[in-house]
Amino acid sequence: MSSLKNSKIIQFFSSGPDRPAMEVEPEKLRRIFKRNRISVFLAITLGYGIYYVGRLNFAVVKPDLLYGKILTSTQMGIIDSALLLAYAIGKLTNGFIADRANIKRFMSIGLLLVGIINLISGMTTMFIVFVVLWALNGWFQSIGAPSSIVSLANWFSPRERGTWYGLWCISHDIGGAINMIFTTVLVAALGWHWGFWAPGILCIVSAFVLYLTLRDRPQTYGLPPVAEFRNDPSPVAKKVDSVNHLQAEVLKNPNVWALGLSSALMYITRYGMYSWAILFLHEARGYSLIEAGVLMSVLFVASMIGEAASGLISDVFFNANRNVPCLIFGLLETACLAAFLLIPDGGRVLDYALMGGIGLALGVLVSFLGGLMAVDIVPPRAAGAAAGVVGMFSYVGAAIQGTASGWLIDYAKTEVSTPVSLNPNKLAEALSTVGIDLKSATNPALFDQAYDVITTSTIFDFNPVLLFWTISGGLSVVVALFVWNAGKRARGEI
């Protein structure tokens, strides 16, 4: 009975069999194909954006959880790590599953489970329960990207895929924007519980919409493969073999592993900026928290522009070759990080320019190194495996970054003690805020004297961590050079 159930579950999630080709007029076939792939594109872009709402919401509820003494900073850091590590492993596993799956069912049910986990998270205050739930969330979150990439590979041909892939990448920013507007307002008005419940409800509703609008592979509807439909043949797209064999070829392909390592190094920089740039700008550059937030928004806006334009740039100006723009924007990212390191105080205009440059470069590199270049060099039926390998590397790099950056920042900070003379009345007032009544415990006659108080302040030195991010960005560019002609070979151009 158990094996029968498992068999039915596997059948439910498996991609359907190829149907006989539709016998309709070419013009009608073209309209059907175009209508379906536009539906697929909108579904994966908006759907993956909602996936992000179901995990970025934890950042919004952190202040309430901290101030309410529900969780400590250390505990919340562990919860973050649980999600990232589960996400890294899930990216690999679910990437391989996505190649075999009916994406319509696989991605929509993954989002449904993300929503359910968020609803449960809003009902607990136990640390260990949060860890387990958020690790499970990371696992189900990892269904979203491989499913989206497999859909892109099956519905968009190699010479146009970069444009559509880049546009799909803005889903990250769509999710971030929805989270910042939607979740923050509800948490401020109704409390931290709604920081989980509202995204949970949104994910569940969106899962049903996703199920109605997403599609399986074109061949399962009697439509031709996209390479045939677009008259965009390439040796790698023509490969017809079992999914097992095609995925085994991915694992044996050194170019996929090189791209994974390059992406991991780039993600060190990316998540270093996401996680620590506010602190850097506040402590080292003298920005207020609000000013630092405004400056960080420049990075996200520039990143969105880079993601949206990346594929179009490579498809139109570089004949679908990603190597040259990858090199250009990799050097831009490294140069901007090095400038923050080498120019301690270059002024606000320079800071805005550097942050915009880093954001623009990261947008392009996340699109290229984070999946597109790997998908370009493998058959469409193994796109999920390639995305999974690269995704695993990427988020292992992100997880390593968190620990390494935090340690470097702590290692380089110094505690400075300074004696300060206070008026006795000021001292008594300060101590009264923590429950000490100095006047009642001290001879009033002594209140015509000054008291020396030792104050301790922390001075942060961000040079070591900036050097770490800069070197990582530079090494990412170097590793990417090893796959310079991989895309051309896959398309049979050399």
467 and 455 within one domain: no
Last residue of a domain, one of 216, 233, 250: 233
Q: What's the structural domain count of the chain? A: 3
Q: Would 4 be classed as within a structural domain?
A: no
Identify the pLDDT of residue 131. 93
DSSP codes of every residue in 92-123:
HHHHHHHHHB-HHHHHHHHHHHHHHHHHHHTT
Give the three-state DSSP class for 125.
coil
How many helices (H) and strands (E) the chain has is answered by 23, 2
Tell whether 68 and 153 lie within a shared domain: yes
Residues 142 and 248 in one domain: no
Domain that holds residue 421: 414-459
Helices 194-213, 26-67: inter-axial angle, 10-degree rounding:
170
Q: Can you give the pTM of this predicted structure?
A: 0.74
**CATH number of the structural domain spanning residue 222:** 1.20.1250.20
Residue 5 lies in a domain: no
Domain boundary among the residues 193, 209, 233 is at 233
Beta-carbon contacts of residue 332 (< 8 Å; ≥ 6 apart): 357, 360, 361
The two beta strands, 414-422 and 451-459, are: antiparallel
| Residues 6 or more apart whose Cβ sits within 8 Å of residue 271 | 397, 398, 401, 402
How far is residue 351's CA from residue 104's CA, in Å, rounded to a whole number?
A: 44
**Is residue 186 situated within a structural domain?**
yes
CA dihedral 195, 200, 203, 208 (to 10 degrees): -150
Identify whether 3 is part of a domain.
no
Under DSSP, is residue 240 helix (H, G, I), strand (E, B) or coil?
coil
The count of C-alpha atoms lying within 13 angstroms of the C-alpha of 53, restricted to the half-sphere facing its C-beta, is 34
Euclidean distance between CA atoms 161 and 47, whole angstroms: 19
pLDDT of residue 1: 44
Same domain assignment for residues 275 and 394: yes
**346 and 470 together in one domain:** yes
Q: Output the CA torsion sign for 51, 55, 61, 63.
A: negative
401 and 419 fall within a common domain: no
Domain identity same for 207 and 310: no
* Residue 314 lies inside a defined structural domain of this protein: yes
Please list the pLDDT of the chain residue by residue as tens digits (494 residues).
Answer: 455 445 788 888 888 888 988 888 889 999 999 999 999 999 999 999 999 899 888 877 887 887 788 887 778 778 888 888 899 899 889 988 988 899 999 999 999 999 999 999 999 999 999 999 999 999 999 999 889 989 998 898 877 877 888 889 888 878 877 877 788 788 888 989 999 999 999 999 999 999 999 999 999 999 988 888 887 666 555 555 677 788 888 888 888 999 999 999 999 998 888 777 777 887 788 887 677 777 877 888 898 899 888 877 887 788 777 888 899 999 999 999 999 988 877 788 999 999 999 999 999 999 888 878 888 888 777 888 888 889 889 988 988 887 788 778 778 777 666 665 656 666 566 656 656 665 565 555 555 555 555 566 667 788 898 999 999 999 999 999 988 777 666 656 66
Which of 51, 80, 320, 64 lies closest to 203 in space, CA to CA?
A: 51
Q: What is the pLDDT of residue 419?
A: 62
Greatest alpha-carbon pair distance for the chain in Å reads 104
Q: Both tokens of residue 351? A: 């800071």
